[in-house]
A and B are shown apart, each in its own frame.
Chain A
Amino acid sequence: MVERRRFGNLIPHLILCIGVGIVGFPVSLAFVASTHEPTIIANGQMPLTPGPYVLENYWRTLFVGAGRSTREPVGLMLVNSLLMATIIAVGKIAISILSAYAVVYFRFPFRMAAFWLIFVTLMLPVEVRIYPTYKIVADLGLLDTMAGLTVPLIASATATLLFRQFFMTIPNELVEASKIDGAGPIRFFKDTVLPLSRTNMAALFVILFIYGWNQYLWPLLITTRSDMQTVVIGIKKMIVTSDALTEWQIVMATAILAMLPPVAVVVLMQKLFVRGLVETEK
């Protein structure tokens, strides 16, 4: 601290507490709502303290679902989301580490062309080319399949760039040494590159898992079958236009359940999360 303050650090603490409070308020309200009965919420009479229906509401949300709108239990949606997010994250990491390895450790015709072909995709999120991509997935007969849901989102340059940058920092001596030991490119990849990349892979996984879990527009178009719904899609469908039919206690329980996995990943793996966030933005 540069100078002594009369009130110590009271003001920073105060401002930070207000910030934390504002950031947390929407979620605490959602949690409170998820523990009450629907009539009290619909009347606008909801108290600011949790009610007695915790178990009942979450049980119904997980295993029965919102009866009038989506009709699928949220437990199933969570499984779908988990599957989608994991496939996207693992898929991106797998194809990226391979292509980065090719670009860094081999010299071959069209090497830079291949790199630029991948690099350009950094710029265009799926949102801007949504209908042409949809049409191709439809033509390939992949609507309502896990492949159609995930594979188009796996194409992106971020992870490739990150691995390329990281591979450039691996000292040449390691390559030389393993060549002397008689190792070929595949063994060098398995025995040296993969173990060294473990932290980077984990950091990327955290970021990409959140990216995959939170996808909305793409699954909205690709999946029409209700048993393929992800939780982020399902929660939107639970809110019906006529207010009287919306079961807000179920919607809010779903909101809590939908944010629990990605938030837990961020909080529990904070170091990896921050690292992944900073590195993917370079």
Chain B
Amino acid sequence: MRHPPDERAVFRSRLLPYGLLLPQIAITLVFFYWPASQAVWQSFLVQDAFGLKTEFVWLENYRDLFSQPAYYRSLVSTGVFSTAVTALSLSIALLLAVMADKQIRGGAVYRTLLIWPYAVAPAVAGVLWMFMFHPSLGAIAQGLRTLGIDWNPLLNGAQAMILVVLAAAWKQVSYNFLFFLAGLQAIPKSVVEAAAIDGARPARRFWTIVLPLLSPTLFFLIVVNIVYAFFDTFGIIDAITGGGPAKATETLVYKVYSDGRLGGDLGGSAAQSVILMAIVIALTAIQFRYVERRVTY
């Protein structure tokens, strides 16, 4: 019996498929759809100080949020942080991947020695970098001080931002390196060789041939890195700065956490969550559109 290519042979059973789906659907409904819809619903409500009365207020919580300078500061910090992390980790990873792609001895060893930071927990990475740059006992902080730099990320907001960016980029280089290397190895050597025979120098070959062919990987990684900087760096920030000093490193995710911990404004906190959800959905949609294009490319 032949099937058309998209037709699968299937089993017949009335109840079994529902039973198989049950665990995942149940967990998803209880711990995903329920809280997500609660967040959306609460973002339209205002509760009085004693939690006795709630009132439906349409978009007032959102209007409130966008009238707070603190929220704008957090937006700007998130923008600076994610741009810096993405740019730094992508460029270092690309440089290393291009070097590792040359057929040199010990390529596999270099790969192993470069990819392991992926496995280090963000909070642990934060602790490591805090220790190096700790104003009173950090090895590198002392070096900076002998250079005449007044280094204290616990007091100086800009320095705190630099430190969390370094730690976050350090962790992400491994991931980007792996994907860049895979992308580079997929470029046919004959194309590069043809350009070399035409007399194109290595730098010119990189900019005119290698980089354009690598652009799908690059674009994919930009989205992944932004998502990482937004949502996976909570532990790094919490371990190094706790959002400070004076909220200089408070990203949007960190703000949801620290506002919520103070309690009180349930509706405002829910509105913040909803905005974050919208951002993730937008980023995921961009990524998927791109993935489809990569398939037909």
Contact = CB atoms under 8 A, between A and B. Distances in A.
B119 A129 contact: no
B23 to A, nearest CB: 4
A197 B176 CA distance: 27
Interface in B203-246: 220, 224, 231-232, 234-235, 238-239
Interface string B21-56: 101110111111111101100100000000000000
Given A121-B32, A155-B31, A101 B20 contact: yes
Contacts of A29: 128, 131-132, 139
Contacts of A13: 104, 106
A182 interface: no
Interface string A1-22: 1110000010111011001101
Interface string A24-58: 11110110010000000111101010000000000
Interface residues of B, number: 101
Given A102-B21, A130-B256, A262-B121, A12 B104 contact: yes
Label chain B's interface by main secondary structure. Answer: helix
Interface core residue of B27, B30, B122, B129 (most chain A CB under 10 Å): B27
Contact of B96 (A19, A26, A270): A19
Contacts of A25: 132
B136 to A, nearest CB: 6
Given A23-B114, A252-B131, A255-B128, A214 B31 contact: no
A102 B178 contact: no
B158 interface: no
A108 B12 CA distance: 9
A84 interface: no
A210 B124 CA distance: 13
A234 B246 CA distance: 25
Contacts, number: 287
B170 interface: yes
A273 B118 CA distance: 10
A216 B235 contact: yes
Given A20-B110, A23-B113, A128-B253, A2 B193 contact: yes
B13 A16 contact: no
A184 B128 contact: no
Contacts of A16: 96, 99-100, 110, 114
Interface string A174-205: 01100100001110100000000000000000
B102 A1 contact: yes
Contacts of B231: 125, 127-128
A75 interface: no
A265 B220 CA distance: 26
A282 B291 contact: yes
A148 B256 CA distance: 21
B31 A133 contact: yes
Interface string A227-270: 00000110110010001000010011001001100110111001
A151 B116 contact: no
A98 interface: yes
Contact of B121 (A136, A168, A258): A258
Contact of B175 (A41, A235, A267, A277): A277
Nearest to B253: A127
Contact of A262 (B20, B35, B119, B202): B119
30 contacts: A2-B192, A2-B196, A12-B102, A15-B95, A19-B114, A22-B170, A33-B131, A94-B23, A108-B18, A117-B28, A125-B232, A125-B280, A127-B234, A128-B256, A131-B260, A132-B39, A172-B8, A175-B8, A213-B121, A214-B235, A217-B234, A239-B127, A243-B134, A251-B131, A259-B120, A262-B120, A263-B116, A263-B120, A266-B115, A278-B179
Interface stretch (B63-71, B73-81, B268-276): B268-276
Nearest to A92: B24
Contacts of B110: 16, 19-20
B102 A95 contact: no
Contacts of B129: 26
A130 B273 contact: yes
Given A217-B257, A255-B124, A132 B112 contact: no
Nearest to A18: B96
Given A1-B103, A16-B99, A232-B123, A132 B35 contact: yes
A20 B196 contact: no
B96 A128 contact: no
Contacts of B28: 117-118, 121, 155
B184 interface: no
B273 A259 contact: no
A79 interface: no
Given A3-B196, A175-B9, A217-B234, A26 B170 contact: yes
A122 B256 contact: no
Contact of B128 (A27, A103, A154, A168): A27
B8 A46 contact: no
A276 B231 CA distance: 21
Contacts of B239: 236, 239
